[in-house]
């Protein structure tokens, strides 16, 4: 209950102010012998508007299409594997990623590349074309792992010479390793055919 100093007002004014102090009114001031009052504010007036809507500042008028160039390629092989990279400075193998390794063939040029993305992040850990001088060598002590020297792997952005080892993790890993080797060697033959045909095509064009 609000406290009112009785000595400041007459008895009649004191009783009136005391009554108003306990009622649902707000005393805003004293004028003469009377009292100016106002109703208490309606709490609903101060409630937040939960239905407010906000318009975006920037409107996208066109849908952005991201191309990975995989749309122009056919999948020849897709197997789950673990990739290792040889560190020349320390002379040891370092795990480079786990995920699906694919051999992709371009629909027009017929060139085949190795593409591998890491699980979850989908970050590329291997990306290079198979050339006619590339060979798969069996990894020591394993019948489901291959080692290959790559002249220009661009998974890091810039062409880099790498020595990579790939190990297949499926229960039929030996069979998958053989399948991968067959497809890899076939791609190397295709690359050699394409390279041998290039000088002939150039000479024919020059003749015309």
Ranges of the chain with pLDDT below 50: 1-2, 4, 31-34, 197-208
Q: Domains in the chain: how many in total?
A: 2
Indicate if 26 and 81 belong to the same structural domain. no
Give per-residue pLDDT as tens, 178-206: 999 999 999 999 988 866 544 433 344 44
Indicate if 33 and 92 belong to the same structural domain. no
Indicate if 107 and 193 belong to the same structural domain. yes
CB burial string 126-155: b at 16+ within 10 A, e below: bbbbbbeebebeebeeeebbbbbebeebeb
Indicate if 15 and 106 belong to the same structural domain. no
Indicate if 125 and 35 belong to the same structural domain. no
Domain region containing 83: 70-202
Contact in structure between 118 and 197 (CB atoms under 8 Å): no
Does residue 47 lie in a domain region? no
Residue 13 Cα distances to 19, 26, 163, angstroms: 10, 16, 99
Does residue 1 lie in a domain region? no
Structure pTM?
0.63
Does residue 49 lie in a domain region? no
Does residue 12 lie in a domain region? yes
């Amino acid at each position: 209950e609000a406290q009112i100093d009785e000595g400041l007002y007459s008895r009649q004014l004191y009783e009136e102010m005391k009554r108003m102090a306990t009622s649902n009114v707000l005393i805003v001031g004293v004028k003469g012998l009377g009292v100016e009052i106002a109703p208490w504010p309606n709490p609903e007036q101060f409630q937040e508007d939960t239905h407010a809507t906000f318009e975006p500042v920037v409107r996208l008028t066109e849908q952005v299409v991201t191309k990975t160039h995989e749309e122009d390629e056919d999948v020849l092989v897709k197997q789950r594997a673990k990739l290792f990279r040889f560190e020349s400075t320390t002379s040891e193998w370092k795990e480079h990623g786990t995920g699906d390794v694919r051999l992709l063939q371009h629909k027009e040029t017929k060139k085949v590349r190795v593409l591998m993305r890491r699980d979850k992040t989908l970050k590329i850990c291997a990306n290079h074309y198979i050339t006619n001088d590339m060979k798969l060598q069996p990894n020591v002590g394993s019948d489901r792992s291959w080692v290959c020297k790559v002249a220009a792997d661009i998974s890091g952005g810039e062409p880099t010479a790498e020595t990579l080892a790939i190990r297949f993790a499926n229960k039929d890993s030996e069979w998958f390793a053989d399948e991968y080797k067959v497809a890899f060697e076939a791609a190397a033959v295709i690359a050699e055919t394409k390279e041998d045909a290039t000088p002939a095509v150039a000479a024919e064009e020059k003749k015309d």
